[in-house]
Amino acid sequence: MNASAPTRKPVILALALGAALGMTLSQALCQTGAGAASGSRRAVQPRPPLAADEQAVVELFEAASPSVVHVATKAVFERRMGPFFSGQQVAEGTGSGFVWDTQGHIVTNSHVVVPDGSEEVSYSVILSDGTTYPATLVGLAPEDDLAVLKIDAPRESLHPIPLGSSEDLKVGQRVLAIGTPFGLDQTLTTGVVSALGRTVVSPIGVEISGVIQTDAAINPGNSGGPLLDSAGRLIGVNTAIQSPSGASAGIGFAIPSDTVNDTVAQLIEFGRKLRPQLGILRVDPPIAARLGVARGVLVGDVVPGTDAERKGLRGTLMTRDGRVSLGDIITAIDDKPIDSYSDLIRTLERYKEGDVVDVTVLRGGRRGSEITIPIRLVGPVR
């Protein structure tokens, strides 16, 4: 009993001192009126006018947001369940897009509408007023990560986004992104143009050049949404981020609007982007690398009836004894080095169907001889 008494006194003394201080503070508050418990709501201070830059952003969002849509996908995947059975798995995805015209064309990213490995995909487009419409796929340009959907909606419900040019952009100018990050539609983020002329890789491994870099927050679900300038014009389509976590880290990328304008027009008219081709089918880079071809484009097959076939371009073959006989390796077009399939695609974009180009190939494998063959370019090969 005696041993415990000294340890309790400081506690009791502290409690008593706290109570005394509390009574004194309470009396002081009551005298000033600051602590009166009236039960009534406090008066709200009137809001001062918005700052000019705030008002500009508000007006821009109100004008542009009706053009921005939520793109929802439902994809069916085949899944193996043991050695003898397989089943289907349904996965739902979300992305952003925007109204292109009053005919109901919607622009988004190709990776939004074509999930990897899916057997069947259906689409829905949700307008800014919450109305949902089924959508059909009009065209794809995976090399530019762009796609066009179409909905059957009343013209008065469709608000085409104003279009600007990406050619005269300046680093430091203000930009705004509107989209559906993590399924949260009509989300606005702001930032600046951080850099120009960046390069990102498309879903099919082709490099997209001239890309806009921004620090406006772009997260999963923003893909396919518009990047706007301070006048509310489309200057890019948000497509990718660079982040170790998968969430925004202040480095986002948008496909420039000049590329979008050219590509979308072709997708609406033809369903794909028209570009001249050599008339060959490539060997996929990972396979080519295993075959010892690290640079250039290894020809897998030559399309019958093309000038490439007539001029004797050679594809890759499997011999009777199971060995691989390498085809021609394309190393240059009109003396411009071709180190990858991206180089080939982007180089051919400078030409038109019917043009003749000098194709330099390495024949006979890595230690073979280099020859140059003039080949007339053809239209898209299916």
Output the DSSP codes for 103-149: T-EEEE-HHHHS-TT-SEEEEEEE-TTS-EEEEEEEEEETTTTEEEE
Known active-site residue 111: yes
Two tokens, residue 103? 């005919």
> How many angstroms separate the Cα of 326 from the Cα of each of 314, 321, 323?
9, 14, 10
- Which one is catalytic: 105, 144, 145, 343? 145
> How many angstroms separate the Cα of 225 from the Cα of each of 5, 113, 182, 184, 312?
72, 13, 13, 13, 46
Residue 346, sorted as left (phi over 0), alpha (psi -120 to 50) or beta, turns out to be alpha
Q: What is the DSSP letter of 272?
A: B
- Which one is catalytic: 67, 105, 110, 111? 111
Q: Is 288 helix (H, G, I), strand (E, B) or coil?
A: helix
Known active-site residue 4: no
- Which one is catalytic: 202, 223, 248, 257? 223
- How far apart (Å, rounded) are the C-alpha atoms in residues 186 and 228? 14
Known active-site residue 105: no
Q: What is the DSSP letter of 268?
A: H
Catalytic residues: 111, 145, 223
